[in-house]
Every structure is written in C-alpha cells, then in structure tokens.
Amino acid sequence: MRRCFEIAKQGASSVAPNPMVGCVITHNDKIIGEGYHQRYGESHAEVMAINSIANPDLLPEATLYVNLEPCAHHGKTPPCADLIIEKKLKKVVVSNLDPYVEVAGKGLQRIREAGIEIDFEVLEKEGRWLNRRFFTHHEENRPYIILKWAQTNDGFLDYHRQEDDGSEPLKISGDEMNRVVHRWRSEESSILVGKNTAALDNPSLTTRLWPGDDPLRLVIDPQLQLKDSLKMFQDGKPLWVFNALKEYCEREVCYVRISDPENFPLEISRHLAQNNIQSVIIEGGSNTLNRFVSANLWDEARIITSPMRIGSGIPTPEVTGKIFSSEMIGNDLLQVYLNE
C-alpha cells in the first residue's frame, strides 16, 4: 500500500479535482504491475496497473492494492469496479473508502458481490493525509485551506509600506525556499491574496520557478480599488476578484460578488467548494491571514522563518495548532502546523 501512496503522488499537480490514486498488483507477493492516475479525465490507476501486466493470465490469482475505493459510476472513464470484476482478480485491498456520493462504498460492494475477497482501511490515516484536499472538499463542503507566510526572525512580515511610495517588498526567504513555494503553488487548485498585498507587491502568483500548472488566482478587493495595470490583470491568465459591487466575467477576469466583505472567509470558502475548487493556499497579507485564523478556517499553516531581523514592521499572525514538521531549507526554517 505504501507503494500505492508513493506512485500516486506523481499525479499531484495534474489530477485535481480527482484524488491521487496509485495501484499495485501482486502475484505470490511479487509486484507484476502498477500504475497511477496521471491526469484528470484520463485512465484511472487500476486501468493503468492492469494494462501494465505482461501476463494477464496471472490476474485470477493476483491481489490488487489501491489507495482509494475503485469507482462504481460512469464519469469521464468507465467504472474501475467493473474492470476488476471482468478480470476476475482474487483479492482487492483498499486504504480509503471514497467519500464521493457517486461511489461511497458502492465500488467495494459491487466487487464483494462478485465473489472477490476484500480488505479495506489498510493504512487508512496515511491514505487520508495523501488525499486530504479531496476528503475535506467532499466531507466538509469547503476547500482544504493552507496559510503560508514568511517572517523575519523577530516576528515581522514586512516593513510598513504605502502604495506608490516606491518601496520594494521585503525579500525574506532565500532562493531555495522560493522554489519550494512555487512547487506548493503547483500542487493547489487556487491561490488567494488580499487587496493590500496585490497593490503593494504586484505579484504574479504563478509557478514560474517550478514546472507545473498555475493555480487559479484569487484576490479580495471589496471596493474594486486595485489598478488594472497590475500583473494579475494584464497577463491573460485566469483571475477571480471577490468584491461587494459587481458580478460578471470579462475575458479571463471574473468579478465575484460577496455579500459581507468584512466576514469573507466562510463565503469565499463556500464559493470555491461550489465550483469544485478543492484547495487554496493563502499567501497574505496580514489582514487576510488573520481573518482566516480568527474564523478558525484553516487546515495547515506553513511558516517560513528567516534569520533576518528588522526591528519593527507588520507583526505576523498567531496560530495555535499541532506542529507537524520542522526543517531547514537553505537558511530558512520551515515549520508546518496542523489545525486540530
């Protein structure tokens, strides 16, 4: 099963809104085939694994391991449960049941009724962690929410700056850490910043330092005060602007009306869920991050601490949670907290 997790991760930036799924087939405790879901709309992991086997005659005596319950419905591809039954596998081992209402136990039920032995909830916690975005979306009707910020060693996000004062954003994290941040962006469905961050930093919010798809860009601009000369309005890539004034789309820019700009975290989260956007990484600024913290609407906080000290500036948000990991990346300390 751990091999299923390992190969499933290869689809991390290309399968959403589908989950990451890996499949391994064994015969007499030896791997004879494996595959993973590579891209949304293409073959599922079970199909890839079965098609990789050199001798299909071994399948009736083989065991199929897959980290998520085989699908039982017709979507963009035929049901994997039917293929498993057709190939007469001896046994199927699953880590997680699928929370998606079109599956939700139906896949394993169909396989069991065909006389195939079933074992499930194998390494169940590890499987849920792998597909935490997928499970959060389907079970809580909201995206998986990641807070991310870089801070100085004395606890500041930036100097106090004003729009058009000519000041540059404070560069806190190093080049190696910046590449990691761009990899994170490629792994999420969307990325969100507030008005001040957009106006002061003029960010692109893309994955230019890492190969992979750009996330959908989101910005909060309640009174539509941002200048349309900003990069995010001019580069021809999709952008959603959450605001209190209007709702329409013009080319790649969509204006999304929110009813209460002062209490936006829940409303934005619901809107993303309704549009099948399963994750969002929030990169600032201070006000936006603090609003999500105050609403207790976050799952992970990825905090980058530089050895730099600046003495005064914009204070960092404060989160209370379980520390999940801590590591040095270049000269920067990366700590990940989980909201439990």
Residue numbers annotated as active site = 46
> Crossing angle of helices 286-294/264-274, nearest 10°?
90
SS3 state of residue 240: strand
SS3 state of residue 1: coil
Distance, CA of 264 to CA of 85 (rounded, Å): 48
Distance, CA of 87 to CA of 235 (rounded, Å): 49
> For residue 235, with 0-12 CB atoms within 10 Å meaning exposed, 13-18 middle and 19 or more buried, which class applies?
middle
- Where would I find the beta strands (DSSP E) of the chain? 22-27, 30-36, 63-68, 91-96, 117-119, 144-151, 156-158, 190-194, 216-220, 239-243, 248-250, 253-257, 279-282, 300-305, 314-315, 322-329, 332-338
SS3 state of residue 270: helix
Distance, CA of 287 to CA of 315 (rounded, Å): 11
